[in-house]
Amino acid sequence: MGAPRERENMAEKTYEAIVIGGGPGGYPAAIRLAQLGVKTLCVEKEHWGGVCLNWGCIPSKALIAASGLAHRIEHAQHMGITVQGLKVDVPKMQEWKDGIVKKLTGGVQQLIKGNGGELMLGTAKLVSKDTVEVTTPDGKKERIKATKAIVVATGTQIIRIPGFEPDGKQVITAKEAVSLQEAPKRMVIIGGGIIGMELGMVYQKLGTEVTVVEMMDQILPGVDKDVLKVVEKAFTKGHNPATVLTKAKAVGLEKSKKGVQVTVEVAGEAKVLECDTVLVCVGFKPNSKDLGLESLGVKLDDRGHILVNERLETNVKGVYAVGDVRGMPYLAHKATKEGEIAAEVIAEHKGALLDVIAMPSAIFTEPEIATVGLTEIEAEKQGKKVHIGKFPFSVLGRAMAVDSTEGFIKVLTDPEHDHKVLGVTIVGPEAADLISEAALAMEMHAFAHDVALTVHPHPTLGEGVMEAFKVAIGEAVHVVQRKKK
């Protein structure tokens, strides 16, 4: 009788905090909890690093960089660079990308361990507000208690369209698209959102004939029209131009050994698109089912996101949620920030709560798009009176020197409150990096003069941010401004 009792006791592990999910929300929560002296276990269902590190943010950006480099080399004759016999080895490119993923995901585990946290691979479910049941990969079940808190950081999953179920070969999702061993000759992308456009441009640069099918009246729904024009021009008018079908709905799919036929309804008429690969990118939904949340009475919104307060705590005391599972926007850096805040709240860190003023976002198309604060569309909807400062990359010395002059920097300021910064939108080279200065300005409640009077090194792309703010306050010296009447 002694041995079974011993196994039973071993199964009743106790921690102060349990984090469910090892993605960009969960692993920072576990690390920060451990740093603050909280005994923590992080449970991950499948891949450490979550979607972001394994087949989302990092792999896609690696492929964007590699395909972009090949494209620039191939079309650099006007710079005096001619390369003969350029060859893109896609399997080698994938091997390089996989090496980055392996390094980063392994790093996540080491960071949790190195800070004093513990790891466990398995599928977790809440059986009470302080107990989690974990089913390990070998099918064994183990109940683990949390004396302080449980943090749900389970992220999202791909939305599947009936009739367009992925088979991993002819019909794929982003998960397979970042691991293709060759560039398809023809690809139809269903969904012209961020993921569809980013991956579409990767394969366009690798020589694929790309067609995007988007239900809305524009690709990248929600993006300012003037910003969209820059990206759409690069996508549809440049080398190996892509086709964009808006207000279009994919209604049928037929597979054969020769390829795939996709039937699309455009303006009430059926159109058949021939291709080799169909990439389905219609969005994500929260991973909140089968976690035991309903039985505990944890409140969700109508889309399944977990509702939380400014301390990231649900209506059930001791149960927290961070990242995509708790709501949009679906951003890895937002998840990380929330994971850190939740950890500090649990550890009773003084003043810990979600009070982020400026949450930047970036789209890694060619050229890149980045925003923080209000966009012009949002300002108009809110009826806000704004001053706009707009500075084109085409007149910026550094942009010319790096042969990337498409796009502009647009800033919105509040003329009734000393030109306080309301928002910044950038479309152009390195937009995702440039937006951080604008985010800092907003987080510090800066005014246009604060940025305009800050000396920026020359020649840099960052000068464009300064110049745009100078335009907003009528002090630009590198563009001609009309005098206000």
Cite the active site residues. Answer: 458
Is residue 355 a part of any domain in this protein? no
Is residue 423 a part of any domain in this protein? yes
Count up the domains in the chain and report the number: 3
Out of 282, 302, 317, a domain closes at 282
CATH value at residue 432: 3.30.390.30
Both 133 and 230 in a single domain? no
* Region label for 377, one of left (φ > 0), alpha (ψ between -120 and 50) or beta (otherwise): alpha
Q: Which is it for strands 368-373 and 361-363: parallel, antiparallel or unpaired?
A: antiparallel
> Which tens digits make up the pLDDT trace of 70-112?
999 999 999 999 999 999 999 999 999 999 999 999 999 999 9
pLDDT band for position 329 (cuts 50, 70, 90): very high
The C-alpha atoms of residue 129 and residue 135 are separated, in whole angstroms, by 18
Domain that holds residue 305: 11-158+285-346
Contact 218, 228 (CB under 8 A): yes
> Which tens digits make up the pLDDT trace of 439-461?
999 999 999 999 999 999 999 99
Task: Name the average pLDDT for the chain.
Answer: 95
> Which tens digits make up the pLDDT trace of 378-421?
999 999 999 999 999 999 999 999 999 999 999 999 999 999 99
pLDDT band for position 484 (cuts 50, 70, 90): low
Both 95 and 215 in a single domain? no
Both 265 and 289 in a single domain? no
**Which candidate, 16, 28, 289, places its Cα nearest to that of 150?**
16
Give the DSSP letter string of 354-405. ---S---EEE-SSSEEEEEE--HHHHHHTT---EEEEEEGGG-HHHHHTT--
Both 69 and 132 in a single domain? yes
What integer pLDDT is reported at residue 482 of this predicted model? 73
Both 186 and 93 in a single domain? no
Mean pLDDT within 271-275: 96
Out of 261, 282, 303, a domain closes at 282
Both 134 and 20 in a single domain? yes
What integer pLDDT is reported at residue 4 of this predicted model? 44
> Which tens digits make up the pLDDT trace of 222-247?
999 999 999 999 999 988 999 999 99
N- to C-terminal Cα separation, the chain:
93
Both 242 and 272 in a single domain? yes
Q: Which is it for strands 368-373 and 420-428: parallel, antiparallel or unpaired?
A: antiparallel
The C-alpha atoms of residue 15 and residue 425 are separated, in whole angstroms, by 44
Both 277 and 297 in a single domain? no
CATH value at residue 46: 3.50.50.60
Both 228 and 323 in a single domain? no
Both 182 and 263 in a single domain? yes
> Is the confidence at residue 8, as pLDDT, over 70?
no
Both 184 and 206 in a single domain? yes
Mean pLDDT within 117-137: 97
Is residue 252 a part of any domain in this protein? yes
Is residue 164 a part of any domain in this protein? no
Out of 260, 282, 304, a domain closes at 282
Both 63 and 126 in a single domain? yes
